[in-house]
Amino acid sequence: MNNKIIVANWKMNPPTVKEAGVLFSDISSLAKNLKGKTVVICPPYPFLFISQKLKNKKIILGAQDISSFSSGAFTGEVSPKMLKDMGVRFVIAGHSERRSLGETDKIINEKISNSLKHKLSVILCVGEKDRDHDGKYLSFVEKQIKNCLNDITKPQLKNIIIAYEPVWAIGKNAVREATVEEFTEMRIFIRKVISDIYDSKVAHTIPILYGGSVNVENAKEFMEKGGADGLLVGRDSLNSKRFVGIINLIK
């Protein structure tokens, strides 16, 4: 993929419709140069409708989660058809914060299959909880990828993006920030895993993003030195100036 992909994950923020509308509007008006970039904003479900008011139609709408069911009596679930009707084109699957609530690789695999069935692109999140000195974290991520992509065909991979998000580098309880070298190692390893499952050609076509305390200070380094195909941005995506600053850093 030639385009660099910048994904904003707002998580359970902001608290009001008004604030979400201002944030959408500010990002839309500030993000002028989007040539060669795919910008995806993933707000909470109640705020998806606000994107329809945006003037900047180059910004793409994404969802933070999706149901593994297409329809039926499943209280609290949101189906692919509902999301598509709201204009959603991308879906995050397997985020570590969802996994911490009990979401298994099997459930994530079902969500991915359901998304692809309805022509939605998937941002699959993988990442280890701890980085040990014996390299066990590599087999952990390998298992995640193989389980989550179980029965996903080679043609379907064109709608898959993988985001590496080391759990130990995320959020307020982060142990530390990941280094560019650590991401580079994992980026190469992920491509090897994909190559082993499918083939080397398709392995080099899947975009691999970095996510884990991404900010305007470290974004450029992960892109240029780390070779990331894009970024999954959390906290800094809630600040329009900082998020657009990240977008503008990417050449």
Tens of pLDDT, residues 93-107? 999 999 999 999 999
Q: Residue 57 pLDDT more than 90?
A: no
Residue 149: CATH number of its domain: 3.20.20.70
Cα dihedral across residues 17, 19, 22, 28: positive or negative: negative
CA gap 147, 128 in Å, rounded = 15
Q: What are the residue numbers of the active site?
A: 95, 165
Q: What is the model's pLDDT at position 245?
A: 97
Q: What is the model's pLDDT at position 51?
A: 84
Q: What is the model's pLDDT at position 175?
A: 80
Terminal Cα-to-Cα distance of the chain (whole angstroms): 14
CA gap 150, 140 in Å, rounded = 16
Q: What is the model's pLDDT at position 164?
A: 98
Which is it for strands 88-93 and 230-233: parallel, antiparallel or unpaired? unpaired
The whole domain housing 189 covers 4-69+76-249
Residue 189 and residue 235 in contact, taking contact as beta carbons nearer than 8 Å = no
Beta strands in 189-234 (DSSP E): 208-211, 230-233
Q: What is the model's pLDDT at position 250?
A: 87
Q: Residue 144 pLDDT more than 90?
A: yes
Tens of pLDDT, residues 181-214? 999 999 999 999 999 999 999 999 999 999 999 9
Q: Domain count for the chain, please give it.
A: 1
